[in-house]
Structures are given as structure tokens and as C-alpha cells.
Amino acid sequence: MRRPVHHAWKVAAVIFVVLLAAAGVRATPSVLIVPLEQEFGWNRALISSAVSVNLVLYGLVGPFAGVGLNEMSRRREEGMESRWYNTFAVIGSPAIGKILLLGAILVGIFLFWMIVAQLLYIVTLGPHPPVSISQFAHDVLHTSAGWTMIVVGIGLGFLFAVLVLAISVVSFPMLLDRNVPLDVAVRTSMRVATANPGIMAAWGVIIAAALVVGSIPLLVGLVVVMPVLGHATWHLYRHAVGP
């Protein structure tokens, strides 16, 4: 008798689809610098700078914005004042050094992910940028090399995303709440992730989908998405680790 497919694998399949959309939106500007320059007359240095700032901010905003919202949730739970400016109270936390270090580690992983993605593009489609947007679309969707890049890229992105989720899902709120050593927070987060693969996979899908949807209307949706994710992360930490 065949065993039913675990729900975690079904959710993981959804993650692949979400990552495909997110990776496409996030990576497209980097490989279209030359076509954008040629078709719109934009300066290459300006485009490159905008893409670089975009990538760095994308890696930085999530962890640090989330910690500030975790602080608001902690204060509300303890019956303290919880207003928007209390998000900055995290700066005075005894664990701020470890929080910054973990944030730097995540940014490093994100930048390494971008390097791997660029190398994958070079290996599959060659070292030269596409000459036009239509040529890029043709190379990606109508050649074996393009589909290799898509499949391998989504797979690698999935592995990076799983790593980041596993080491950070409860690490930030735990550091803020208990000021434990950084390695203890990371190990606890990984134990929670491995003990609850289905829940963690579902949470990963929710985060990825929410960020993609929130980013579509010129990032305006993130004003709603980020607070919801931040407060939800705190409650996830409470249920998984306890008070």
C-alpha cells in the first residue's frame, strides 16, 4: 500500500512556485541592464547602482524590521506601552549586538545567494548580457540552457531559503526576549524547524507569498505585510519555545 505524500512535501512544491515568481522579479533587473540602457537611454552606472541598493535593502529590511515589530509584540504581551516608535526600543536591548550579528550573517547568505545566481547565469547562458529583453525571454524559455538555469536556480534558491528560515525563524525573538548566546538561539531555531517541518514549510510559503504580493504595488503593500509577519513571528516563537 502506498504511503500518502506528507503535507510538508506538498507545501514545499508550492514554495518552488512562489520562489520562481520572487526570483524572477528580484533577478530580472540585474540581467537586463544592457537592454534597459539601449532601449530607454538610461545610464548603466545608475541602473547598476539602483539594482545594488535594491539587493542590499532587500536583505537588510526583513530581519531588522521584524525585530522592531517583535519588540512591540513583547511590550504588548507584558502590558507595556506599544506604539510605533517603540520599535526603536530594540536599539537599547542587551542583545542588540547579537541581533546585529545574526542580521549580518543573513545578509551575507543573501549576497552569496546572489553571487551563486550570477554564476549560474554565466554557466548556462554565457558571460555576456542579453542584447534585448525579447532575446533574454527567448533564451530563458526556449532553450535547454535557459530551462536548466530555471530548474537549478529554483532548486538552489529553495535550499538557501530553507537554510535562512531554519536558522532565523525563532532566533530573533528569542534573542530579544531571553538574551541567550547567539549559538543557542540558532540551534533552538533549527530544532524547532526540524521538529515541525510541515508548519515551518507552511510558514515559509506564507512569508514568501506575502512579501511578493506586498512588493507588487511599488512596495506599498509591505506597510501592511511587515507588521503582520512581525507580530505573527512573535506568536510563533511563543508557541514553539514557550514563555
Contact (Cβ atoms closer than 8 angstroms) between residue 30 and residue 51: yes
Q: What is the pLDDT of residues 161-204, one digit of tens each?
A: 888 888 988 999 999 888 899 999 999 999 999 998 888 888 88
217 grid coordinates: 504595488
d(CA 175, CA 101): 11
Other CB atoms within 10 A of residue 6 CB = 12
Binning pLDDT at 50, 70 and 90, where does residue 107 land?
confident
d(CA 61, CA 225): 13
Instruction: State yes or no: pLDDT of 99 exceeds 80.
Output: yes
Q: What is the mean pLDDT of the chain?
A: 76
Is 241 or 130 the better-scoring residue by pLDDT?
241
Q: What pLDDT is stored for residue 156 in this prediction?
A: 85
Lowest average pLDDT, out of 56-60, 96-100, 201-205, goes to: 56-60
Instruction: State yes or no: pLDDT of 15 exceeds 50.
Output: no
Q: What pLDDT is stored for residue 81 in this prediction?
A: 78
End-to-end alpha-carbon separation of the chain, Å?
43
Q: What pLDDT is stored for residue 180 in this prediction?
A: 92
Q: What pLDDT is stored for residue 192 in this prediction?
A: 92
Lowest average pLDDT, out of 53-67, 78-92, 102-116, goes to: 53-67
Task: Tell me the CB-side half-sphere exposure of residue 109, using CA atoms within 13 A.
Answer: 20
Helices (H), ranges, 78-181? 96-125, 133-141, 144-168, 171-178
Instruction: State yes or no: pLDDT of 71 exceeds 50.
Output: yes
Rounded (10°) angle between helices 133-141 and 33-40:
150
214 grid coordinates: 506586498
DSSP secondary structure of 19-33: HHHHHHHHHHHHHTH
**Which pTM was predicted?**
0.70
Residue 7 per-residue DSSP state: H
DSSP secondary structure of 24-65: HHHHHHHHTHHHHHHHH---HHHHHHHHHHHHHHHHHHHHHH
Q: What is the pLDDT of residues 115-161, one digit of tens each?
A: 888 888 888 888 777 666 677 778 888 889 889 988 888 888 888 88
Q: List all residues 6 or more positions away from 124 whose beta carbon is below 8 Å from its beta carbon.
A: 145, 146, 148, 149, 152
d(CA 110, CA 161): 9
Lowest average pLDDT, out of 4-18, 121-135, 206-220, goes to: 4-18
Alpha carbon of residue 215 to chain centroid: 12
Domain ranges of the chain: 7-241
Q: What pLDDT is stored for residue 137 in this prediction?
A: 77
